[in-house]
Structure 1
Amino acid sequence: MKQKTKRHTDPALAQARREQVLAAAADCFRRKGYHGAGMAEISKTAGMSAGHIYNYFTNKEAIIESIIERDMEEMFSIFQEFEDMPGDLVTILLDGLDHAVERHTDIDQGALNLEMLAEAARNNKVASLLHATDVLARERMRQLLVGERGPLKDIADDELTGRIDVMFAMIGGLLLRKMLNPDLDQQAVLKALRPTMKTLLLPFA
């Protein structure tokens, strides 16, 4: 009991252990799927006992929830970087496409995302988390586009909603294209994507 209390009195160590478990679980989910990766496999990959893992996560569902939350935090930090950068917001967003394309054509990360989506089809709690994450992401994009420096302050709300959905669909759909076409040329995609995205980011004439 004392060991457990000592472990949790050091927030930095506890966070490092949590990240160690999340990294191991993500690797297991990618290789064996959510249902194929048991806690024994995760603990072996993490290099710690299953009992130790249960000090930080009650079950596999709690682990996948934390992976989703971590991805959301990363996404929001990117939005914040866009907002904090000086200059024309459209140019900033278009420049950010390089990172977006690279991230959404990463097969390792993509396999994990597909596994989470597959689990969402069976697990209402995971589905709710992914839905909530998407709602927050679209709202954050909306805030950027209609904010003080936003290029789309004056368009109708339903049109803005449609544009954001199309933007997200184009970026999110890159994973499927990469899965089906492993030889996908990222530079060719960017060359086609930039003018298309620019059209969506500016008022129609």
Structure 2
Amino acid sequence: MPKISDKQRQARRDQILAAAWRCFFRKGIHATSMEEIIREAELSAGAVYLYFESKDKLILAAISTYMATLRELLLPILTTPESSPPLEFIHEITSAMEKHTRRSEIDLNVVILMCWSEAQTNQQAKELISGFQVNYRAALRLVVRQWQKRGQLKSQGKPDDLAKALLSFFLGFIVQSALLGELDSKTISRGMKGLLMGVGA
């Protein structure tokens, strides 16, 4: 049997994960069987199990891939030496999140919400997801300090408190998009501008 390249191997893995996301989106994580994912991927059972030995492993891989791909989009925004002013920063972050989650066939916001639910009873999923969020919070803390230093943020509150509030806002963007829809980065930017400008000292 001819060997396949790393690129082909990754493409096959991505094919299986994409099939899993579509199935999860339609039926939910636990209502979806491995047999349905195999059919959706249009591969043999042996080919799928070669990459993912169980449904639990596939679920963790789906979460990890989602989070890692989103991180690649967010890191340039979060770690730039000169972060954008608050409103522009919020628009950049929500635009990147929107770009990652809105797809022609599925809304990944819905899938990741299911994965967060899975994390309440799956310790491995919880550790995986919380690890990413802790790192985001640390990065947001540094961004807040930049704003305060440049006078772009009037609040002199603790950067850690403000970072936690910001993270809650961004996570809420995912939740509201998944549950209610009709939400985009432009709407969020307009809403935040009106809210922040309307708050007194």
The TM-score range, normalised by the shorter chain, is 0.7 to 0.9
Q: Deviations over 1:139-191 (max 9, x none)?
A: 23334444xxx324599x98212111111212221344345544557644321
**Amino acid paired to 2:18:** A
**Among 123, 139, 147, the residue aligned to 1:151:** 147
Give the count of matched residue pairs.
Answer: 192
2:24 maps to 1:25: no
Contact 1:94 1:198 in 2 (8 A): no
Pick closer, same or farther for the CA change 1:110–1:72 going to 2, 3 Å: closer
Residue 39 of structure 1 is matched in structure 2 by: 34
Normalised TM-score (structure 2): 0.76
- The alignment partner of 1:41 has SS state of helix
**Among 44, 49, 64, the residue aligned to 2:44:** 49
Q: Provide the rounded CA distance (Å) in 2 between the counterparts of 1:176 and 1:168.
A: 12
**Amino acid paired to 1:93:** F
Q: Deviations over 1:59-79 (max 9, x none)?
A: 122222222222232232223
Q: Deviations over 1:1-47 (max 9, x none)?
A: x56xx23xx11011000100110011111111111111110011111
Contact 1:79 1:140 in 2 (8 A): no
* Identical columns (%): 27
Normalised TM-score (structure 1): 0.75
Pick closer, same or farther for the CA change 1:21–1:198 going to 2, 3 Å: farther
Pick closer, same or farther for the CA change 1:62–1:135 going to 2, 3 Å: same
Q: What CA RMSD, in Å, does the superposition of the two structures yield over aligned residues?
A: 3.5
**Among 61, 69, 93, the residue aligned to 2:89:** 93
Q: Deviations over 1:87-118 (max 9, x none)?
A: 65326514405505735985721210111012
- Specify every segment of 5 or more residues in structure 1 that has no aligned partner in the other structure, as ranges: 200-204
2:62 maps to 1:67: yes
Residue 193 of structure 1 is matched in structure 2 by: 192
Contact 1:94 1:197 in 2 (8 A): no
Contact 1:101 1:190 in 2 (8 A): no
Residue 121 of structure 1 is matched in structure 2 by: 120
- Specify every segment of 5 or more residues in structure 2 that has no aligned partner in the other structure, as ranges: none
